[in-house]
């Protein structure tokens, strides 16, 4: 890695002692000796193991659940169904007033995605829990499922989630989050070229090497200690408190070093049910996702579809950009309404465009609920935007890097969401990339600056 201190030298103080120094990491000696304690590096006497019975169907009504055989299985201590969960229907963003509550901790009457949690089995050993789980009988009536966002948005599509009653999230702005800036149609009308293209992605897993999990220990004083690898301690504690209808002061969350997160450990998914199990049995409970669960059950990065329509002039100026973004939330909201909205705030990218129209939708389908991941709401949008930029440059016969200089935002430029640009540095990054990659651009671009025009 090279630090190029020549850029923005006037804005940076270099009189610091500790900041800017490559100090060794204090946690590394623990890592290399295997001494770092992760949540699962604990073993408690009498600890029970929780295994989840999951839906084999993408969408089905639950006619009945029979746990009688499973309950008798040797080693089984407790079996939990929806009726055991005090506040079974929840949504994690309720903490920042983004509702409605739309997800069941344990399925109640219906499953909406293949892999949804239905029954929790607590047993003395993992093997006993697995064996008992195989004896839980769930009678399903399979329902039509919808997997494609376009299909889901059509009239007559199966309703994925009755708590929404429609297959998209309803924002206060309507069926999508909107950004309106200038007159995009006038921009297209005056453009030398108009290019509309569609981009698509499929779900992506965080794949941390340590799977999601927790160990809950009853402390004997009506408090429960939850050793967890959540990325957000209080967020998880407060949601668990709501789901369990248990005052927050009864809960003690302990994290520590987490074996990778990447956004995959911000759902509140293992802790509430494990705490409930510990409460109802009075014993420590371990609930740790298998790798299979981590891959297919834990929320992935949402699949997205992004439609970009641009008006561009032969001189390289983009004069209008219309983006319609669709986020595939899967069966439940989790963080997806927020992610789709974050996309609306990100488009049209780091470019100054006078006429902008953004609609971002959060769509429900019968698949594993998606949620946050590194670059949430932006990663796939950036793929779409930057491939589109390449296409636009080639459309008008311009070098793709020079084309970006022409449109790059600078300090003071008004963004589509009506904030003036501050602290821009796109131009300087491109200047340095031009040098590093030996990708020559005209001198006028090398002498540009992100500082406000005329400064």
Partner 1 sequence: MAKVPVQFTLNGAEKAEFIDSGTTLLHALRDKIGDTSPKGGCHQGTCGGCSVIIDGELRLSCLTLAETCNGAAITTASGLSEGGVLHPLQRAFLDAFATQCGFCTPGMIMAATVLLDHTPNPSRDEVVEALSGNICRCTGYEPIIQAVLTAARSNSQNAA
Partner 2 sequence: MALALQTFSTVKEANAALTVAGTRYLGGGTLVVRAANEGDVSVSILIRSTEPSLSAITVSGDKVRIGASVTMAAIACHPDLSSLAHAARAVGGPAIRNMATVGGNLFAPAPYGDFTVALLALDTTVSTKDGEVPIETFVAKRESNHAIVTAVGFTLPVDGGFRFLKVSRVKPTGVAVLSIAAVLEQAPDGTVSSARIALGCMADRPMRATAAEKALLGRKLTSDGIEPALAVARDGTSPITDPIASAWYRNEVLPVHLGRLLLA
Partner 3 sequence: MAIRRGRGVAAINYPTGMNLGGDPTQALVHSTPTGNFMVTLSSVDLGQGMKQIMAQICAETIGVPTDRVVVDTADTDTGPHCMGTFASRGTHRAGNAVIQAAREARQVMLEVAAEELEVNASDLETDGQGNILVKGAPQKSISIFDVALSAHFKRGRSISGRGMFLIPRSYPEKETGAMKPSTCYAHACTVAEVEVDDETGEVTVLTVKNVFEIGRALNPKMVEQQLVGGSWMGVSHALYETTEPYYPNRDHGGTDFNQYLMPGPGDLAQTEIIVLERPSADGPYGAKGPGEMCANPQIPAVANAVFDAVGVRIDTLPITPERILRALKAQASN
Q: Which does 375 bind (CB under 5 to 8 A by kind): partner 3, partner 1, partner 2, none?
A: partner 3
Of 270, 334, 260, which Cα lies nearest the Cα of 302?
Answer: 334
Q: Which does 408 bind (CB under 5 to 8 A by kind): partner 3, partner 1, partner 2, none?
A: partner 3
Site residues for partner 1 per CB under 8 A = 24-25, 27-38, 40-41, 43, 125, 127, 206-211, 257-260, 262, 290-292
Residue 157 DSSP symbol: P
Options 123-131, 159-167, 191-199, 269-277: segment touching partner 3 (CB under 8 A): 191-199
CB 92 → partner 1: shortest distance, Å? 23
Q: Contact, 121 vs 51, CB < 8 A?
A: yes
Of 364, 73, 377, 47, which Cα lies nearest the Cα of 213?
Answer: 47
Residue 140 and residue 64: Cα distance in Å, rounded? 7
Length of the chain: 455
Q: Out of 48, 365, 410, 413, which residue is the one contacting partner 3 (CB under 8 A)?
A: 365
Residue 178 and residue 359: Cα distance in Å, rounded? 5
The verdict on 240 binding partner 2 (CB under 8 A) reads: no
Options 99-107, 280-288, 309-317, 366-374: segment touching partner 3 (CB under 8 A): 366-374
Q: Which does 281 bind (CB under 5 to 8 A by kind): partner 3, partner 1, partner 2, none?
A: none
Tell which positions 402-431 bind partner 3, by CB under 8 A: 404, 408-409, 416-419, 422-426, 428-430
Antiparallel, parallel or unpaired: β 60-66 and 303-312: unpaired
Q: Given the complex with partner 3, which of 129 and 416 has the nearer CB atom? A: 416
Q: Out of 46, 192, 196, 202, which residue is the one contacting partner 3 (CB under 8 A)?
A: 202
Residues that contact partner 3, how many (by CB under 8 A): 124
The verdict on 153 binding partner 3 (CB under 8 A) reads: no
Q: Given the complex with partner 1, which of 227 and 351 has the nearer CB atom? A: 227
Q: Per-residue contact track with partner 2, 104 to 143, x per CB under 8 A?
A: ---------------------x-xx-xx-xx---------
> What residues have CB less than 8 Å from 80, skipping those under 6 apart?
106, 119, 120, 121, 122, 273, 276, 277, 280
Residue 166 and residue 155: Cα distance in Å, rounded? 10
Q: Given the complex with partner 1, which of 209 and 221 has the nearer CB atom? A: 209
Q: Given the complex with partner 2, which of 134 and 186 has the nearer CB atom? A: 134
The dihedral over CA atoms of 170, 173, 177, 180, expressed in degrees to the nearest 10, equals 160
CB 217 → partner 1: shortest distance, Å? 16
Contacts to partner 2 by CB under 8 A: 51, 125, 127-128, 130-131, 133-134, 290, 292
């Amino acid at each position: 890695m090279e630090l190029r201190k020549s850029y923005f030298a006037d804005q940076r103080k270099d009189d610091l002692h500790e900041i800017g120094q490559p100090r060794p990491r204090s946690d590394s000696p623990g890592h290399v000796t295997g001494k770092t304690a992760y949540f699962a590096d604990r073993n408690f006497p009498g600890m029970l193991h929780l295994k989840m019975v999951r839906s084999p169907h993408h969408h089905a009504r639950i006619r009945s659940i029979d746990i009688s055989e499973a309950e008798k299985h040797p080693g089984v201590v407790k079996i939990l169904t929806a009726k055991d969960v005090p506040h079974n229907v929840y949504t994690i963003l309720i903490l920042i007033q983004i509702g409605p509550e739309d997800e069941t901790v344990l399925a109640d009457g219906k499953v909406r995605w293949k892999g949804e949690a239905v029954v929790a089995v607590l047993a003395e050993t993992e093997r006993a829990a697995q064996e008992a789980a195989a004896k839980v009988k769930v009678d399903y009536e399979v329902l039509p499922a919808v997997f494609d966002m376009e299909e889901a948005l059509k009239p007559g599509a199966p309703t994925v989630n009755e708590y929404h009653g429609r297959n998209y999230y309803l924002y206060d702005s309507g069926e999508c989050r909107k950004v309106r800036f200038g007159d995009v149609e006038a921009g297209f009308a005056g453009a030398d070229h108009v290019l509309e293209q569609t981009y698509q992605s499929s779900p992506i897993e965080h794949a941390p090497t340590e799977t999601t999990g927790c160990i809950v220990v009853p402390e004997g004083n009506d408090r429960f200690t939850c050793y967890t690898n959540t990325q957000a301690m209080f967020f998880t504690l407060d949601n668990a408190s709501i789901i369990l209808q248990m005052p927050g002061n009864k809960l003690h969350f302990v994290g520590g070093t987490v074996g990778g997160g990447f956004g995959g450990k911000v759902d509140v998914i293992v802790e509430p049910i494990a705490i409930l199990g510990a409460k109802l049995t009075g014993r420590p409970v371990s609930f740790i996702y298998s790798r299979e669960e981590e891959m297919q059950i834990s929320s992935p990065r949402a699949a997205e579809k992004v439609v970009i329509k641009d008006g561009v002039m032969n001189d390289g100026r983009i004069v209008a950009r219309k983006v319609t973004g669709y986020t595939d939330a899967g069966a439940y909201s989790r963080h997806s309404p927020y992610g789709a909205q974050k996309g609306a705030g990100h488009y049209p990218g780091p470019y100054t465009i006078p006429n902008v129209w953004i609609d971002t939708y959060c769509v429900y389908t019968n698949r594993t609920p998606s949620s946050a991941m590194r670059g949430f709401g932006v990663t796939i949008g950036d793929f779409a935007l930057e491939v589109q930029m390449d296409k636009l440059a080639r459309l008008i016969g311009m070098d793709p890097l020079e084309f970006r200089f022409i449109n790059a935002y600078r300090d003071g430029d008004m963004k589509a969401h009506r904030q003036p640009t501050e602290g821009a540095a796109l131009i300087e990054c491109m200047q340095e990339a031009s040098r590093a990659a030996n990708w020559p651009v005209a001198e006028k671009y090398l002498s540009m600056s992100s500082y406000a025009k005329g400064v």
